[in-house]
Amino acid sequence: MQTKNIIISIFILLPSFLFSWRISPGRLILDSQKGTAFLTLIGGEKDETQPISISICSREIDINGKEKSEKLYDKFYVIPSSLMLKANERKMVRIVWKGPKNIKDEVSYRLHAQGVPITAPMENFKKKGLRANLCSLIKFSIPIYVRNKSINLREKLQYISCESVCENDEKFLLLKLENKGNKHKYIKNISLNYLEKDKKKKSINIEKKDIKGSNLVLAKHERIIKVKWPENLPPTAENITCEF
C-alpha cells in the first residue's frame, strides 16, 4: 500500500522581541515638495537571506479610532518594492510621492514591509510520508505622513461634546473633538473642566494611561476619545468640557 504524501503548513507570526530583521525609522515624514523619503531595512545577526516585500496602503481612521486601509498603486513609487536581505546587511528603500506638491492638509498612509514565507521540509516527517512547511512571517507596519513643509503646519483641536457610558460595570467618558488643523495630533494629556453641584468650577487632569484605545486624531478629522472615568470626578458633575 502506497503512503500518501501529506503536506502540513505551519505559519508562525513572531513577537517583536524575536524579530530577526527590522526597519528604521518607525515612521516617515515626507515633504510633498521634495517628494522623497528614505527608510532602512536592517538584517539580523544570524539570519539567512530573507526576501522582503514592501507596499503602501491608504489609511483612514473613523470617529471611534478604527483604522481601515487598502493597497495603493497610484500614489507612491517604492524603490525597490522587493529585495533580498542578508544577515547584518543594511538596505535603503526610497519612497517617492507621486501626488500633488501643493497640498494644504497633511495626509496619512501606511507602509507595510513583510517577509515572504520560506518553506522548508522537516526530514523526520518524510519517513512517514509527511512533509511540513514551516513559514515565519514577520511584518512591520509604519505610518507615512505626507505634508507640505512650505506652509504653516499645526494641529487645532476643538472640543464638541461629552457623554458618559457604562461598560461591564465600568464607567467611561466619551469626549468628541475635531482636529481643524492641517497636522495630526496624538492626545497625551486632557484637562477636564466641570461644575460641582454648588456651581464651583473644578479641573482634573487625565493622563495618557487612562485613554482607552487610539489617541490619534488625523488632520481634518473628528474623533471620540474614550477615557476612564476619573476617581475624583463626582457623578453629579455638570457642564463637562475639556482642553487638549
Q: How far apart are CA 175 and CA 224, in angstroms?
A: 5
Residue 133 and residue 167 share a domain: no
Residue 170 and residue 104 share a domain: no
Residue 169 and residue 100 share a domain: no
Instruction: Determine contact, residues 192/174, Cβ cutoff 8 Å.
Output: no
What is the extent of the structural domain holding 164? Answer: 157-243
Residue 135 and residue 29 share a domain: yes
Q: Which three cell numbers stand for residue 42?
A: 536592517
Residue 2 lies inside a defined structural domain of this protein: no
DSSP 71: B
Residue 24 lies inside a defined structural domain of this protein: yes
59: domain CATH number?
2.60.40.10
Residue 206 and residue 129 share a domain: no
pLDDT of 48: 75
Residue 36 lies inside a defined structural domain of this protein: yes
Residue 109 CA: distances (Å) to CA of 16, 65, 71: 22, 15, 10
Instruction: Determine contact, residues 232/180, Cβ cutoff 8 Å.
Output: no
Average model confidence (pLDDT) across the chain = 87
Residue 5 lies inside a defined structural domain of this protein: no
Indicate the SS3 state at residue 18: helix
Residue 152 lies inside a defined structural domain of this protein: no
Q: What is the pLDDT of residues 15-52, one digit of tens each?
A: 444 457 899 999 999 999 999 999 999 998 876 788 99
Residues contacting residue 174 through CB under 8 Å, at least 6 positions apart: 162, 163, 164, 165, 224, 225, 226
pTM for the structure as a whole: 0.82
Type of residue at 219:
A
Residue 141 and residue 163 share a domain: no
Phi, psi torsion values for 127, nearest 5 degrees: -65, -30
Residue 225 and residue 110 share a domain: no
DSSP 119-175: ----HHHHTTTEEEEEEEE-EEEEEEEEE-TTS-----EEEEEEEEEEETTEEEEEE
pLDDT band at 127 (very low <50, low <70, confident <90, very high): low
184: domain CATH number?
2.60.40
Q: Which three cell numbers stand for residue 131?
A: 512533509
Residue 43 lies inside a defined structural domain of this protein: yes
pLDDT band at 116 (very low <50, low <70, confident <90, very high): confident
pLDDT of 38: 97
Out of 147, 180, 202, pick the residue that ends a domain. Answer: 147
54-63, 217-226, 233-242: least confidently modelled range: 233-242
Average pLDDT over residues 105-127: 76
Q: What is the pLDDT of residues 142-160, one digit of tens each?
A: 999 999 999 999 999 999 9
Length of the chain, please? 244
Residue 8 CA: distances (Å) to CA of 12, 41, 122: 13, 31, 10
Question: How many independent structural domains does the chain possess?
Answer: 2
Indicate the SS3 state at residue 209: helix
Q: What is the pLDDT of residues 63-101, one digit of tens each?
A: 999 999 999 999 999 999 999 999 999 999 999 999 999
